Structure 1
């Protein structure tokens, strides 16, 4: 659909996978008080679950788009003494404000300024749609292509972009920073900080009260997507994969990233105290892409890096550089280990189990330590049929808890035509044992075009929800979320 056709036909989204069925834009901002609850919300679970989603506010400028390019819609589910209230708000980015004023899309393909309407040349295209961060008493909506957007945690009012009082000198900030649970320090990074393809990566050390206290830069082997990182007590690690940003392609209007498996996968390990001057590079024996990280931990001189990894790129979003018929392969949980006492640059790889999966979480109190269990989205055909491929890949039908000591897999099956998203772990108490907590998870009821939120006992997923919170409508599929303590939302 061209812009002219969009004007003639009115506001109409394309009939394509990204904009059809359960994936269709929702675009609703509002409040629902005292949601229907089946079962009982656990006593003492007071605070808020908040998550980000990509919900296109307007049909795409060039008639097609990818899931990742939707406008940031934040969903906040507030829990108070057994009651649950829902609040949904768009992040009021400069992009959204310009498009609402024009009543049509003005920005083009994902992160490609050469495809934008000339009227917004040089305007910030941040969509703030990937993740949320609570740190230093502030709530942020994050998109790795832009600065954090600060939000009011009680109202979700957009307060504006945040550059840490001018100390963040670039234009980008990761959607996957890590909070050290022992020190309260936030480790973060930025890539393509000018908005263009670059090999430079900025590394940030942020104090528990939110002050950017240290920033250093290192250079990757090539300008790639750097979506996540791993942090242990003494090290920061990056897996550099060949999801390449080729600026000449971008200038031609082609996708911002392409998958180029001719390039090696490299692992950077940076000492937290010494910084980038102590960086070491390790070479992976396989080519593929890290999707999301699980955890990192140290065993003597050996650094273990647990993450989900696929032997292909994210081809549902970005093309192969030379093979248009290439297919995306599923990710598996793997442990990549490097020996920092050895001069060898090799990486040893162990698959943690044979269960396809993604969107992993751990008990956040144990980040950087050896953990026994982790949780992730997956499918188990023995429990129910697989669902059709969605705009961001195959939908999950289950959540799984993997026990790394026994190999046991414990599943929650969401039911026919139902798709759980990334879970969120909330400890039952500050001093509860590891993994003794609640899993909160959005579940898409696709046949009903509606959404539930379930609360599961993390120690027994197979028992099913202790509470199901029925939303009266659908909210858009999301990416990542976090937990807000009671005081953040006025409790």
Structure 2
């Protein structure tokens, strides 16, 4: 069998592992807070077979559902399993890769024509007692949260008509409803977007379709108390390019971005589009809310061009990762207006987190990953963009006051989960994975727990994971009482 390509997509932290395992009773250094009882689910891309094309991306890796389970007795277990997608099953049966370029079925082996291509590797979504593994190029797969066995592709009991589902659902803290969407909803390079609402029990109660200004990358979206907001950035798809065997995404630096705004319980036919700046890109939004005057404020990790090197390369944009300018910025606009005001909030970074209770509301604290400006030594190579973060920032977006947890050289940090504290006026806890390079090809991994209101003090507990890990994309926290209810159904 041909080996994996010698590129950053398959080397360093991104070295494929392809192993399912369970580890019980992990070693703990420190005291795990009593509030932390439940499961930290993580989506981990890990290709089972070398790709058909050497320029493949880490984003094509087969999805694995990883779980750190913090049990009632204070012990911690680790499990990881492949999501048994149709794609994974087809390639496992053949003993080799059959699917071609990232999101281009025209480059697949003829034997898998028509087979669901999604790898379900981006975000675990916990809602209504169900665990879904989502990637935006297809529908989610449902996974048993206790056994981690794959139940199958999920279409909300036959109600979901969209062929795709975002990896970034938003859950309203008051109603418990889940808001989500799917772009390229009726096929490759389509401008159709499906906007969906599931009630707190997980039943799909609304699905509306609208057209985006062009087929652009719509990785994330946001809600406020009264609106659904759909940003569109100029990383575009073209069907003819795909048919010729080309790439799915090309970033068009001279094309405008857009913001679509509609009442979140309203009619998608009334979507109002606001033109934004040219060439910019954002993958993740920290939060969005309305002020007392009804003006909308969207906080996002904005960059001057696309952050993914494989997309810039295909677009002819010759810019190193370290050269890209950006930051945490706020876009402010009236829901029926035509102008966007931009306000800088914080330094560059991504992979943000807020308290669940702050979703769509004014907020005073958020967390995201960044780079330590005082870092002495190069960053670890790996992760979806090829370079990892080595610092965690806590920011008050109203005052822009910040606190930083900076890691030592040869360390990397993954997106945190926020866990509510039962103690009054306590800011809660952050839980995340730390990677450390111990040798040229050796890495060690721990889960850290920090006080969310005092991150610079470092971890109150470290959980050692004595096995090689591959970087996650996103994660989700599920409290134990919710897992117990799901297991009893």
Q: TM-score per shorter chain, which class?
A: over 0.9
- Please name the residue that 1:456 is paired with: 450
- What are the within-5 Å matches in structure 2 for residues 320-335 of structure 1? 323-328=316-321, 329-335=324-330
Which is further off, 445-454 or 120-129? 445-454
Which of the numbers 29, 32, 49 marks the counterpart of 2:40? Answer: 49
Is the 2:45–2:472 contact (alpha carbons within 8 Å) kept by the matching residues of 1?
Answer: yes
Alignment partners' CA distance in 1, 2:136 and 2:431: 25
Q: 1:78 aligns with which of 65, 69, 75?
A: 69
Distance 1:30 1:316 in 2: 32
8 Å Cα contact 1:378-1:398 kept in structure 2: yes
Residue 273 of structure 1 pairs with residue 265 of structure 2: yes
Kindly report which structure 2 residues correspond to 1:1-400, keeping only aligned pairs within 5 A, or say none: 10=1, 12-80=3-71, 81-299=73-291, 300-319=293-312, 323-328=316-321, 329-340=324-335, 344-353=337-346, 355-382=347-374, 384-390=376-382, 392-400=385-393
Are the aligned partners of 2:450 and 2:461 in contact in 1 as well (CA < 8 Å)?
A: yes
Aligned residues: CA RMSD: 1.7
CA contact (8 A) 1:438 1:457 kept: yes
* Aligned mates of 2:348, 2:90 — CA distance in 1: 41
- Secondary structure (helix, strand or coil) at the match of 2:363 reads coil
Deviations 1:433-456 (A, max 9, x none): 4x7111001111123412111011
CA gap 1:312/1:324 in 2 versus in 1, 3 angstroms: closer
Matches of 1:388 and 1:176 in 2, distance apart? 26
State whether residues 76 and 88 of structure 1, in contact with CA within 8 Å, keep that contact through their aligned partners in structure 2: yes
Are 2:403 and 1:414 equivalent residues in the alignment? Answer: no
Render the CA deviation track for 1:60-99: whole Å, top value 9, x for unaligned. 0123310111000111000013211001001000111111
Q: Distance in 2 between matches of 1:389 and 1:475?
A: 14
- Cα distance between partner residues in 2 of 1:398 and 1:213: 40
Looking at structure 1, the residues matched to 245 and 401 of structure 2 have their Cα atoms a distance apart, in angstroms, of 48
| SS at structure 2 position matched to 1:425 | strand
Q: 1:459-486 CA deviation, whole Å, 9 max, x = no partner?
A: 1111110011110012110111111121
CA distance in 1 between counterparts of 2:238 and 2:265 reads 33
Contact 1:379 1:386 in 2 (8 A): no
Give the drift of 1:105.
Answer: 0.4
Deviates more, 1:447-456 or 1:243-252: 447-456
Gaps of 5+ in 1: 1-9
Q: Supply the distance in 2 between the matched residues of 1:462 and 1:84 (Cα, whole angstroms).
A: 25
Using the TM superposition, give the Cα deviation of residue 242 of structure 1 relative to its aligned residue in structure 2, in angstroms: 0.6
> 1:481 aligned to 2:472?
no
8 Å contact from structure 1 (residues 330, 357) kept in 2:
no
**Following TM superposition, by how much is the alpha carbon of 1:386 offset from its aligned partner in structure 2, in angstroms?**
4.2
Distance in 1 of aligned mates of 2:279 and 2:167: 24
- Aligned 8 A contact 1:145 1:195 in 2: no
Separation of aligned partners in 2, 1:116 and 1:445? 37
Three-state SS of the structure 2 residue aligned to 1:466 is: strand
The DSSP-based 3-state class of the residue aligned with 1:96 is: helix
1:3 corresponds to: none
CA contact (8 A) 2:140 2:165 kept: yes
Structure 1 residue 356 displacement after superposition: 1.5
Q: Secondary structure at the match of 1:140?
A: strand
Q: Deviations over 1:115-161 (max 9, x none)?
A: 11111111111100000111111100001011110000001100001
